[in-house]
């Protein structure tokens, strides 16, 4: 197997699924009508509701949904089960579920006066469903924050060639905000300066003097405790899943705290000051790496065949023997490990409030919603290719080696290409994480602000969010954390498809294209949460409890608790959804009224 064949498979998948399945659903089931007024045109308010050109909206929606998720998931799945199951799930997932979820969420909102999923759930299913959605969002954010901070800290600590580029990215983001909003500079000039300097920082990272400086810095941090770890815990996923004592050294904790401080600033500062410009600078860095990588993967087979050959096994088994790491059956775990490249709940949430209100014409719903999802699938495919040809190192290392190999096809020396790939990975994850803390802060304020007034303070809310994420990082067992996040995300996708199914039933349309993926995702997700909770309890919580380690016990206990809450919430949604579905099958709902207004 080589990268070219995988790229061809990807292109054929996109063509067949889009042209022969998605279009048919759009034409025969949804019956999109270019002459029907959309909420953007009906309720145009100049900002939220704004008719927007489909090409612009395609770019905007794609950028909004695609980044860390499809990349990290593909890396972990290929490491656990081999590249073949990951490829098959990516192809089948996006063809039959992913596009349907993203597109249908936009359709649902467009046909319901531009209302968000929670508002539609409140009207069509039950008021309780909206509350459950809040629960999902909170735990979703907590899990992903812990997972992302953990993996970033590991890379920053273990790869001394990376920090310079990342530090410059943050500095350039701050500078860009100042240039655009205070000095009123043009976007093009400001982009050239800030992206150029960041890029230079990334390329300078592997120079021995710079790499040595950061290495020395990490070592000097570790000598503060005489080389002793700060926290020790048993992690069954280490040492090739044989299980080992994991040690959190001062340098790792330093990078985790540094990342959290950056995210804290991104959370409390005005959006234009830090979060938005950092995302923008980061976008160009990752776009450069991804475009060079994808094209490199396509032509590498001819130009530099050694970088395009798959190195990892195609299939490692239905239930890889993981010893103390417990059970990891392909079903259901693969389907939550790879979330965003195949199907993602967050896309639906964003699509219903962000994109649906800018749809100018119903004929744009398919290219924007489904088109973006298929493009994200290609991003997931690139991550899978990179990790499959990379081979060397831990999952992220293998990804960076593979992507670096693809980039080196264009004449970039391999060490610089790998450095760019490492930096691109961190940038992708970092820019999302700062936004996660921002949303977490607001979620906490909304939830607890009435009951615990100090939570209304943005610093208190941000601090609580950061502290909870750090606790999860100190617990270790990163893979379980990632899978729990994936489960929360996929459960949200199932919930979104459930809403679409209920709506289709309520308007007397064929609901199978959304209903069948919903049933599959729902059963798979609940099963995966139970498996993860089992693994966490017996393989992490208990061994650390026996060893009397407080922090890992609290952290893994928290994760088990979250898992139980997710399952309970899922059961509530299923019961309410089923009742609503049966009700509408018997008696279709009346057409929706105008968007509800504040009294």
Partner 1 sequence: MFERGWKAFKQFLHGLAGYEFARHALEMRRELEAVFMVVTMGDLIGVPILPPVYSLRLLPYLVPEIAKWKRQMARRKEFWEKEEYDLRGV
Binding site for partner 1 (CB under 8 A): 43-50, 53, 55-69, 116, 118-119, 137, 141, 144, 180, 187, 191, 271-272, 275-276, 279-280, 283-284, 287, 340, 344, 346, 349-350, 353-354, 428, 431-432, 435-436, 438-439, 442-443, 446, 489, 595-598
**Shortest spacing between CB 578 and partner 1, in angstroms:** 25
C-alpha to C-alpha distance for 257 and 253, rounded to whole angstroms: 6
Q: Which is nearer to partner 1, 40 or 409 (CB)?
A: 40
Q: Which is nearer to partner 1, 62 or 410 (CB)?
A: 62
Supply φ then ψ for residue 485, to 5 degrees: -60, -45
Q: Which is nearer to partner 1, 295 or 516 (CB)?
A: 295
**Shortest spacing between CB 107 and partner 1, in angstroms:** 19
| CA-only gyration radius of the chain, Å | 23
Cβ pair 515, 496 in contact under 8 A: no
**Shortest spacing between CB 56 and partner 1, in angstroms:** 4
With residue 247 as reference, give the H or E element that holds it: strand 244-248
C-alpha to C-alpha distance for 171 and 382, rounded to whole angstroms: 29
**Shortest spacing between CB 581 and partner 1, in angstroms:** 24
| Tokens standing for residue 470 | 């750090």
**Shortest spacing between CB 166 and partner 1, in angstroms:** 16
| Tokens standing for residue 432 | 């999302």
**Shortest spacing between CB 46 and partner 1, in angstroms:** 5
**Is 583 in a helix, a strand, or coil?**
helix
Q: Which is nearer to partner 1, 144 or 400 (CB)?
A: 144
**Shortest spacing between CB 20 and partner 1, in angstroms:** 23
C-alpha to C-alpha distance for 536 and 557, rounded to whole angstroms: 8
**Shortest spacing between CB 290 and partner 1, in angstroms:** 12
Q: Which is nearer to partner 1, 221 or 464 (CB)?
A: 464
String of DSSP letters for 242-261: T-EEEEE-HHHHHHHHHHHH
Q: Which is nearer to partner 1, 73 or 332 (CB)?
A: 73
What residues form DSSP beta bridges with 52? 359
With residue 500 as reference, give the H or E element that holds it: helix 478-506
**Shortest spacing between CB 150 and partner 1, in angstroms:** 16
**Is 14 in a helix, a strand, or coil?**
helix
**Shortest spacing between CB 573 and partner 1, in angstroms:** 18
Q: Which is nearer to partner 1, 30 or 383 (CB)?
A: 383
Asked, as a colleague might, if the bond just before 7 is cis with ω within 30 of 0, I would say: no
* Contacts of residue 363, Cβ cutoff 8 Å, sequence gap at least 6: 32, 34
* Contacts of residue 23, Cβ cutoff 8 Å, sequence gap at least 6: 366
**Shortest spacing between CB 358 and partner 1, in angstroms:** 9
With residue 233 as reference, give the H or E element that holds it: strand 231-235
Q: Which is nearer to partner 1, 141 or 166 (CB)?
A: 141
With residue 234 as reference, give the H or E element that holds it: strand 231-235
Q: Which long-range contacts (CB under 8 A, 24 or more apart) does 46-49 make?
A: 48/357, 49/114, 49/357, 49/358
Q: Which is nearer to partner 1, 339 or 387 (CB)?
A: 339
CB atoms within 10 A of CB 2: 17
Cβ pair 558, 581 in contact under 8 A: no
String of DSSP letters for 338-371: S-TTT--HHHHHHIIIIIGGGB-SGGGHIIIIIH
Q: Which is nearer to partner 1, 11 or 547 (CB)?
A: 11
C-alpha to C-alpha distance for 252 and 223, rounded to whole angstroms: 13
Q: Which is nearer to partner 1, 271 or 568 (CB)?
A: 271
Residue 241: left if φ>0, alpha if ψ -120 to 50, beta else—which one?
left
Say how many CA atoms lie within 13 Å of 276 toward its Cβ.
11
Q: Which is nearer to partner 1, 141 or 164 (CB)?
A: 141
**Shortest spacing between CB 283 and partner 1, in angstroms:** 7
């Amino acid at each position: 197997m080589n990268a070219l064949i995988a790229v061809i498979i990807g292109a054929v998948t996109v063509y067949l699924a889009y042209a022969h399945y998605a279009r048919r659903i759009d034409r025969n089931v949804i019956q999109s009508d270019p002459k029907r007024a959309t909420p953007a045109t009906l309720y145009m308010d100049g900002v939220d509701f704004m008719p927007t050109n489909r090409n612009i909206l395609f770019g905007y929606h794609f950028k909004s949904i695609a980044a860390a998720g499809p990349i990290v998931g593909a890396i972990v799945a290929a490491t656990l089960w081999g590249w073949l199951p990951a490829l098959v799930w990516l192809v089948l997932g996006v063809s039959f579920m992913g596009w349907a979820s993203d597109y249908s969420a936009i359709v649902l909102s467009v046909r319901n006066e531009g209302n968000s999923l929670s508002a539609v759930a409140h009207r069509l299913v039950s008021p309780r469903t909206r509350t459950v959605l809040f629960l999902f969002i909170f735990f979703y954010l907590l899990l992903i924050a812990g997972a992302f901070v953990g993996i970033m800290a590991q890379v920053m600590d273990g790869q001394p060639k990376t920090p310079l580029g990342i530090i410059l990215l943050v500095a350039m983001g701050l500078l860009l905000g100042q240039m655009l909003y205070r000095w009123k500079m043009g976007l093009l000039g400001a982009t050239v300066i800030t992206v150029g300097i960041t890029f230079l920082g990334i390329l300078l990272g592997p120079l021995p003097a710079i790499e040595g400086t950061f290495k020395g810095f990490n070592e000097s941090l570790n000598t503060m405790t005489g080389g002793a770890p700060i926290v020790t815990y048993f992690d069954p996923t280490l040492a090739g899943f044989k299980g080992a004592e994991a040690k959190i050294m001062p340098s790792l904790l330093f990078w985790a705290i540094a990342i959290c401080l950056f995210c804290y600033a991104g959370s409390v500062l005005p959006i234009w000051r830090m979060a938005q410009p950092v995302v923008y600078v980061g976008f160009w860095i990752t776009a450069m790496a991804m475009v060079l990588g994808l094209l490199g993967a396509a032509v590498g087979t001819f130009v530099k065949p050694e970088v395009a050959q798959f190195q990892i096994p195609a299939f490692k088994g239905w239930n890889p023997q993981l010893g103390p790491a417990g059970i990891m059956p392909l079903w259901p775990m693969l389907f939550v490990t790879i979330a965003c490249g195949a199907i993602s709940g967050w896309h639906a949430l964003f699509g219903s409030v962000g994109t649906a209100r800018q749809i100018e014409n119903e004929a744009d719903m398919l290219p924007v919603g489904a088109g973006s999802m298929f493009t994200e699938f290609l991003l997931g495919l690139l991550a899978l290719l990179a990790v499959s040809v990379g081979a060397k190192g831990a999952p992220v290392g293998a990804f960076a080696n593979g992507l670096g190999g693809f980039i080196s096809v264009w004449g970039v020396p391999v060490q610089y290409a790998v450095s760019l790939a490492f930096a691109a990975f961190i940038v992708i994850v970092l820019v999302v994480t700062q936004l996660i803390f921002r949303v977490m802060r607001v979620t906490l304020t909304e939830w607890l602000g009435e009951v615990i007034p100090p939570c209304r303070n943005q610093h208190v809310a941000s601090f609580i969010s950061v502290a909870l994420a750090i606790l999860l990082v100190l617990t270790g067992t990163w893979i379980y954390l990632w899978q729990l996040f994936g489960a929360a995300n996929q459960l949200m996708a199932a919930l979104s498809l459930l809403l679409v199914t209920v709506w289709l039933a309520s308007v007397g349309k064929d609901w199978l294209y959304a209903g069948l993926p919903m049933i599959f995702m729902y059963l798979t997700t609940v099963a995966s949460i139970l498996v993860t909770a089992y693994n966490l309890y017996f393989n992490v919580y208990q061994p650390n409890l026996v060893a009397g380690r407080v922090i890992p016990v609290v952290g893994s206990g928290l994760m088990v608790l979250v898992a139980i809450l997710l399952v309970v919430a899922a059961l509530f949604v299923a019961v309410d959804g089923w009742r609503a579905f049966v009700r509408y099958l018997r008696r279709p709902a009346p057409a929706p009224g105008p968007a509800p207004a504040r009294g």
